[in-house]
Amino acid sequence: MTIGWGRHARFAFKDKDTKVLTFFDPWKKNVNRTQAFKKMSALIKSNYNFDTKFVNRSPDQSNEGSCTTQALMRALMLADYGIDGATMQVPNDYAVFTSRLTSMCRK
């Protein structure tokens, strides 16, 4: 899933066998210590009884505003490849599809 806070898009993964919601950021920022992530984690825990964690990884985002496209593309890859979709090399068809999908939604 894609999720945004603080004017920035991120993506998350929920393994069907665990009660952990794992967050990733296209910029590789560490959000564990931010107030927004702490609040969101507390709400997720109290409402759904899920734990949360943030994973540092190599950045995808190359310029301002690409976080939306990167987060959507990785969310699609997570649906197809599972947790490996968060860190694997992006196949060209996902990049093209996500770019076209984003362009369609702008109209």
Number of separate domains in the chain: 1
What does the pLDDT read at residue 9? 81
Domain with 62 in it = 2-106
Q: Are strands 8-14 and 20-24 parallel, antiparallel or unpaired?
A: antiparallel
The pLDDT of residue 51 is 95
What averages of pLDDT result for each successive group of 10 residues across the chain (107 residues)?
Answer: 79 89 80 80 94 84 77 91 90 88 79
**What tokens appear for 76 in the block?**
């699609």
pTM of model > 0.85: no
Q: Which pLDDT does position 47 carry in this prediction?
A: 95
Its sign, for the CA torsion 82, 88, 91, 93, is positive
User: What pLDDT score was predicted for residue 8?
Assistant: 79
